[in-house]
Chain A
């Protein structure tokens, strides 16, 4: 049997008293492209952020390539999971993330942004890192913007630099957290094209998005989050075209209201 590249087992997350989700199980195989949709507050982004531990799950395990992240230990009869910084840093190199707000480093050029992880995390020589970063920028169509600072780039260009920054680390999984939600409608296309290009390379990715149409074309599987968990899942055709459960149906109907 194939070990899934990523497995979430019984993941719980609470903010104070409010449970965001509980008992989330998910298997991600190499090459899967999973679109995560749902209403605001359904925990889509939080689930994504639990995968690379920008949020700590309150219970459950994240298992990468068959290896659970963190070490379980008994303390006063209760088992708890300890996450040491080193293992989380190693995990994060293998799981890239692209943010809604880009989060480029404003004091560095586009090239500097892409080089940063190569220099500090991968300890690559500067010349080699520069070449590598330049190639990643070329891949997202920004070879000529290498020396530009983020303040001088459009939103779409910033997000493509952010994608190049994530790709430079050669992650096995890419997480996209609403990558086009902060963009002018006119700039959404260039970012979706860049993501589509990665999809066609067969990369494994999880994408939280409100672009239902894009999710339909790009994803191999769609998760609809509601009621504190994965409410419905299946192929794009199943979930987006013929949803079976009422909340999914209402959500999809709402998104189709203004289509023409």
Chain B
């Protein structure tokens, strides 16, 4: 059996795909910032001197690490509005599910990075009169972030790919648009090949950029 590849329906629907790409990138950008940003807050809370902050942080991490993102998105979209009178858009549900899950993962990455910094670094900073917060911000975090950059890159890639899960609540992103095109034109081979390729085309340059960042940060070695 020979299959005749035909990309015309895809080209005809380029606008739909472009809309999907915009939706994917928008969701990725928000979840990347929220997920990695909030993850740092959670990591710092986990090593707080206040017990309640530690407990909340650990509870958060364990809850969101050990439940599937897909379930979280569905839960935020369908279940949460039944408990509290809020209207949840597909975008919001996807942001909540992906960001909170990523925050839980990245919190553990940050914690590992912070713990890997020698106690002597803290001591040297404290010994010249720097406060705990200054030490964290100026001395410990810059070194810790550099060490965990490869792990955070992994997290970023994962976030990008997790955006496809938002299609389950009909958020308009690449996979959602692809499925639509495929079901109308009966061409899943072309559509899913192109969708896969598009993800690669977006992600690969981003990953290269983080390599460049790693090299730049390695100046001091």
Contacts and interface: CB of A to CB of B under 8 A. Distances in A.
Interface of A: 52, 54, 85, 89-90, 92-93, 96-97, 99, 101, 103-109, 116-117, 120-121, 149-151, 162, 165-166, 169
Interface string B131-160: 110100011001100100000000000000
A68 B129 CA distance: 18
Given A107-B143, A151-B220, A121 B121 contact: no
B134 A120 contact: yes
B123 interface: yes
B124 A120 contact: no
Contacts of A109: 220
Contacts of B142: 107
A99 B120 CA distance: 8
Contact of B123 (A103, A149, A169): A103
Contact of A107 (B118, B120, B129, B220): B220
A89 B139 CA distance: 16
Which of B118, B120, B125, B128 has the largest number of chain A CB atoms within 10 A? B128
Interface residue range, chain B: 20 to 34
B143 A106 contact: yes
Given A85-B132, A106-B220, A96 B139 contact: no
Given A120-B134, A120-B138, A101 B129 contact: no
A101 B128 contact: no
B137 to A, nearest CB: 9
Interface in B70-126: 118, 120-121, 123-126
B133 to A, nearest CB: 10
Contact of A90 (B129, B138, B220): B129
A169 B220 contact: no
A166 B130 CA distance: 12
B127 interface: yes
A217 to B, nearest CB: 26
Give the 7 A-B residue pairs with the shortest CB-CB distance, closest first: A103-B124, A117-B128, A93-B129, A103-B120, A149-B220, A97-B127, A121-B129
Nearest to A104: B124
Which of A52, A106, A109, A169 has the largest number of chain B CB atoms within 10 A? A106
Given A103-B124, A107-B220, A169 B146 contact: no
Contacts of B128: 92-93, 96, 116-117, 121, 165-166, 169
B129 A149 contact: no
A201 to B, nearest CB: 20
Given A105-B139, A151-B220, A54 B130 contact: no
B52 to A, nearest CB: 20
B221 interface: yes
Contacts of A99: 120, 123-124, 127
B215 interface: no
B48 to A, nearest CB: 15
A151 B121 contact: no
Given A54-B123, A99-B124, A89 B221 contact: no
Nearest to B142: A107
Contacts of A96: 127-128
